[in-house]
Amino acid sequence: MHHANHYYGHSFVLARYCGFEADPPRIHGYLQHGWNIGDGLAPDHEFVPGIPTFVWSERTRRRAWSMGRRQVHVVGAPWAYLTAMEPEPAGDEREGTIWYPFHGWEGQHVEGDHDRLIAEIRDTETGPVTVCLYWQEYRTVRVRRRYEQAGFRVICHGYRGGWWKDLDPGFLARQLAEQRRHRRIASNRLCSAVFYGILAGCEPAVYGDPMQLQGEQDLFGGRSRIRRQWADLHGPKIDTATAHAIAVDELGADRLLSAAELRHLFHWTTA
Give all domains of the chain, ordered by start, each with its CATH number: 3-86+252-266 (no CATH), 97-250 (3.40.50)
Q: Residue type at 69? A: R
State the pLDDT confidence band at 123, using cuts at 50, 70 and 90. Answer: very high
Q: What is the dihedral of CA 70, 67, 48, 162, to 10 degrees?
A: -110
Kindly report the pTM of this predicted structure: 0.93
Per-residue pLDDT at 104 exceeds 90: no
For residue 234, pLDDT beyond 90: yes
pLDDT for residue 98: 98
% residues pLDDT > 90 (the chain)? 62
Of 42-51, 133-142, 214-223, the range with the highest mean pLDDT is: 133-142
